[in-house]
Amino acid sequence: MSRLAQLILALIVALYPLAVYFGIQYLSLESLLCLLLAIACLRLLVGGNNGKIGAKLVAAALAIVAALSWLRGDSSGLLWYPVLCNGILLTVFAYSLRQPQTVIERLARLREPDLPPEGVAYTRRVTQVWCVFFVLNGSLAAATVLHGDMRLWTLYNGLVSYTLMGLLLAGEWLLRRRLRGRIAAGAETDAV
């Protein structure tokens, strides 16, 4: 599947809370569940044999909540998808902390294959920060489900959660630039 098709499919999955909110209001439950199951299947197929395990698990979580909602005959199961996604991401990131390379280090090495020891330590710390984020974000997502207010659930899971994620990404990017500047300045003084 083309990169554009993959991007469109990822965007659809990212808009899940809005799709559920409006789907519950304007579609029959069966239509909404069929649409979500189709998206989950497409996500599983897009990954192919070399797809990332995290992406496959997230797609499987979507299929599971849709199937469970179908069996129950109501849409309440669909609200647990963001909680499951945070749990899956927490598991993937936390598991990588026990490996020689963390998820963040692997991503960093795509851009900088010869990552210095300071960079390796930094990526491990960033992976830990993301684990804390997934615990907190998943807990808040669960609280919105248990609270039972669909508008609150949609607001948090469709806007606030993504905003917090974006702020974390931006903050990490700014911190990384600052640390790189310090490392570069230290290397210059060592050379003199």
Residue 50: pLDDT over 80: no
- Per-chain mean pLDDT for the chain: 86
Residue 97 · residue 130 · CB < 8 Å: no
Q: pLDDT value at position 190?
A: 57
In whole angstroms, what is the distance from residue 139 CA to residue 125 CA? 21
* Percent of the chain with pLDDT strictly greater than 90: 43
Residue 38: pLDDT over 60: yes
Residue 61: pLDDT over 80: yes
Q: Is residue 192 part of a domain?
A: no
Q: Is residue 69 part of a domain?
A: yes
Farthest CA pair distance, the chain: 72
- Domain hosting 83: range is 3-183
Q: Is residue 25 part of a domain?
A: yes
Residue 48: pLDDT over 90: no
Residue predicted with more confidence, 26 or 139? 139
Query: What mean pLDDT comes out for the span 143-156?
Result: 95
In whole angstroms, what is the distance from residue 32 CA to residue 38 CA? 10
* Percent of the chain with pLDDT strictly greater than 70: 89
Residue 82: pLDDT over 80: yes
pLDDT category at 39 given cuts 50, 70, 90 is confident
How many domains does the structure of the chain reveal?
Answer: 1
Residue 126: pLDDT over 60: yes
Task: Give the single-character DSSP code of 102.
Answer: -
Q: pLDDT value at position 169?
A: 93
Residue 86: pLDDT over 60: yes
In whole angstroms, what is the distance from residue 91 CA to residue 85 CA? 10
In whole angstroms, what is the distance from residue 187 CA to residue 192 CA? 9
